[in-house]
Structure formats: structure tokens, C-alpha cells
């Protein structure tokens, strides 16, 4: 319909009434609707005399283009030649042009019209530097020589399966509120799921909601809360436990939701011990200081305060209280000032 500058834009409601001066809250109160839709309205700018901008024959937004009057012109673009035939001025062939330009005759006419028709002689070569400002030639140059696009040299790898892009597969899973952990675990134990290429979309039974990230995060929050409750121990820091009710393949299957949560939604169960996660992911050995910090987070608040006080001043802590705290860990070595930190 014309150039962007030839139009005015405004927000409107369903009745095409301009609502730019109202807030979202005002609109909801006024309409008394649970869902309120906004629309983008466009109108032609009016010039003096009531004539719209795009009705002006001299406006650049018109569809009429000047008839090119060229004989035979070669346009050189980075060693590639574009030829304008005298028989068909609108027939231009570019070996390195994008598809949408070669198929559009208007682009060819624009190219022809941007050249200096009076000064171009037969068989004359016009380079990029000679093109006028705003010429399609400069657009071609920018298209082919975008500084933000870089191509690395091609390489041949040994395992082609790891380098070739695989097709993305979206798998759907219907889960039940209150049984998310069970449903997700059954899915990963039975279904083939490629963590590199596959994505998972969740739908909660009896609840309407399109999974654009929110449903997935909500469901996985319940998944990890159940995992914390049933299969970990600890206060602020959770340590996974190997209990008889969870088989080895089930414990290993928990790794897939862990990776998938972070891959899709950058969701990480932060209550799991950092030492545990680093060991699983990077196979690193924590230092004694890191282990002590993680252990203190594992303890209940009362025992944590007692242990911290004993580390700072062992003689100032009640011995019986200290023994009670350590009895939960089946400690068989009597604590003293010298061995307390290592214990």
C-alpha cells in the first residue's frame, strides 16, 4: 500500500475507537470483559488539500516505475556480472542474487532506474562505487557482504552423526496433577528420548493450557518437589539417597528430566547439593571447605548453629548437645577440639 512513512498507526478496540489515552486497567473496567483484545490501526496520512500521501503521483510509495531505456549494460558486482538485455530491459540475471530478487521484476526495474540513463553507454561497466545512494546495487552488496555473517572453512569429522543437524522431534506427554513424578518417570523409562534433538511438551489432564513454557515449569516444579520429599534427605541442601524403593534404572532416569529442564527452560533444582551436581556433571572432587559448607546446609537449623559454634569455639559448646547432634550420623569417634573439624 505504500511506504511506512505514509501512514499513521494507533491502538484501537474492536469498534476501531482510538484508545491510546487509556490504560489497560481502564479498558478492562470499562468493557467488563475477561479477555480484552487490542488492534493496530493504520490510516493514510493526509496532506494539505485532503490528498493522501500515497495518492500523490510523485510519491516514492507509488507502484508506477519509470520505463528503463537501456541498450546493453553490464553491472559488475564483486566479479559476478549482471546483464540487462536491450531486448527485454526487465530481464536481469544474477548468478549470486537471492531467489526473491531474481523472481521479482520490480527489483529489476528499480536496478535499471537507479543507473544514470544519460551517461551510461553501450557495454559500459558500472561498479558498486559508481552506484547512487539508495541504489539496489548497494543493497546487493550489503546482502552478500554482511559483516555479521561469517563462514568457517568446511571440515570433515570422523563421526558424521554428531555433526549433521538432526530433525527436531516434539513429543507430547499427558500428566496428572499430583502424579507428575510417576508419569514423567514412566515416560523416560519406556520412551526413546534423544536429549540432543527432542523436546517435550506437557499437558495436564483436565486442565486447559497451551505449553509455551509455563505448563512445563509448573509440572517440573512438582516433579522435583516430589523427588525432594521421597528420594532425598537434608534441610536447605538435599542429598539424593539410594533407597530400596527406587531401582538403579530409575535413579539413572532422573538425569534426563534434570538435563531437559535446563535445556528447555533453564530450570535447575537448586536445592540439590552443588557438590553432588558437580560430581555428576564434571566429575570433580570437592575440597574439604566445599564439603563442610554443603554439610552445614544439609543439617537442620538447630544442629547447624551448634556445629558452627563448635567450629568457632569448641570449648564453649555443651558436650551433651554436641553428642546428640552427632548421634544422628552413627558417629563412633569421640569428638574433641583437635579432631572436630575432620569429623
Write the DSSP assignment of 202-239 as a string of letters. Answer: EEETT-----SSHHHHHHHHHHHHHHHHHHEE-SSSBE
Q: What is the residue-averaged pLDDT of the chain? A: 74
Q: Which residue has the higher pLDDT, 189 or 128?
A: 189
CA distance 177 to 204: 7
Quote the pLDDT of residue 167. 64
Q: Give, for 12, the enclosing helix (H) or strand (E).
A: strand 7-12
Q: Which residue has the higher pLDDT, 184 or 74?
A: 184
For the range 38-41, what are the long-range contacts, defined as Cβ-Cβ under 8 Å and sequence gap of 24 or more? Answer: 38/11, 38/12, 38/13, 39/11, 39/12, 39/13, 39/14, 40/9, 40/10, 40/11, 40/12, 41/9, 41/10, 41/11, 41/12, 41/16
Q: Is the pLDDT of residue 24 over 50?
A: yes
Tell me which DSSP letter residue 35 carries.
S
Give the pLDDT band (50/70/90) at residue 306: very high
Winning range, highest mean pLDDT, from 2-16, 37-51, 86-100: 2-16
Q: Is the pLDDT of residue 140 over 70?
A: no
List, for residues 80-94, the tens digit of each pLDDT value. Answer: 444 444 444 444 444
Q: Which residue has the higher pLDDT, 200 or 50?
A: 200
Amino acid at each position: 500500500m505504500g511506504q511506512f512513512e505514509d501512514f499513521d498507526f494507533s491502538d484501537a478496540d474492536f469498534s476501531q475507537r482510538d484508545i491510546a489515552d487509556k490504560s489497560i486497567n481502564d479498558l478492562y473496567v470499562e468493557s467488563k470483559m475477561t479477555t480484552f483484545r487490542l488492534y493496530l490501526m493504520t490510516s493514510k496520512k493526509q496532506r494539505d488539500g485532503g490528498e493522501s500521501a500515497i495518492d500523490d503521483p510523485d510519491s516514492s510509495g507509488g507502484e508506477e516505475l519509470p520505463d528503463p531505456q537501456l541498450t546493453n549494460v553490464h553491472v559488475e558486482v564483486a566479479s559476478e556480472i549482471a546483464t540487462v538485455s536491450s531486448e527485454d530491459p526487465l530481464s536481469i540475471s544474477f548468478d549470486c542474487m537471492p531467489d526473491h530478487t531474481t523472481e521479482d521484476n520490480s527489483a529489476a526495474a528499480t536496478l535499471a532506474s537507479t543507473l544514470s540513463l544519460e551517461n551510461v553507454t553501450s557495454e559500459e561497466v558500472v561498479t558498486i562505487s559508481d552506484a547512487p545512494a539508495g541504489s539496489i546495487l548497494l543493497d546487493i552488496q550489503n546482502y552478500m557482504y554482511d559483516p555479521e555473517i561469517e563462514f568457517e572453512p568446511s571440515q570433515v569429522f570422523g563421526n558424521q552423526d554428531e555433526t549433521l543437524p538432526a530433525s527436531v522431534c516434539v513429543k507430547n506427554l499427558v500428566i496428572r496433577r499430583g502424579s507428575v513424578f510417576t508419569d514423567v518417570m514412566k515416560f523416560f523409562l519406556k520412551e526413546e528420548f534423544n536429549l540432543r534433538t527432542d523436546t517435550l511438551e506437557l499437558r495436564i489432564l483436565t486442565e486447559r493450557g497451551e505449553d509455551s513454557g509455563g505448563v512445563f515449569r509448573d509440572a517440573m516444579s512438582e516433579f522435583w518437589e516430589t523427588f525432594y520429599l521421597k528420594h532425598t534427605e537434608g534441610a536447605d541442601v538435599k542429598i539424593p539417597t539410594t533407597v530400596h524403593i527406587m531401582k538403579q534404572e530409575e535413579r539413572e532416569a532422573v538425569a534426563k528430566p534434570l538435563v531437559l529442564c535446563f535445556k528447555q527452560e533453564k530450570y535447575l533444582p537448586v536445592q540439590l547439593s552443588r557438590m553432588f551436581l558437580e560430581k555428576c556433571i564434571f566429575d570433580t572432587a570437592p575440597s574439604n571447605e566445599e564439603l563442610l559448607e554443603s554439610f552445614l546446609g544439609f543439617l537442620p537449623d538447630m544442629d547447624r548453629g551448634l556445629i558452627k559454634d563448635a567450629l568457632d569455639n569448641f570449648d564453649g559448646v555443651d558436650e551433651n548437645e554436641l553428642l546428640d547432634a552427632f548421634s544422628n550420623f552413627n558417629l563412633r569417634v569421640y569428638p574433641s577440639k583437635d579432631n572436630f573439624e575432620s569429623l
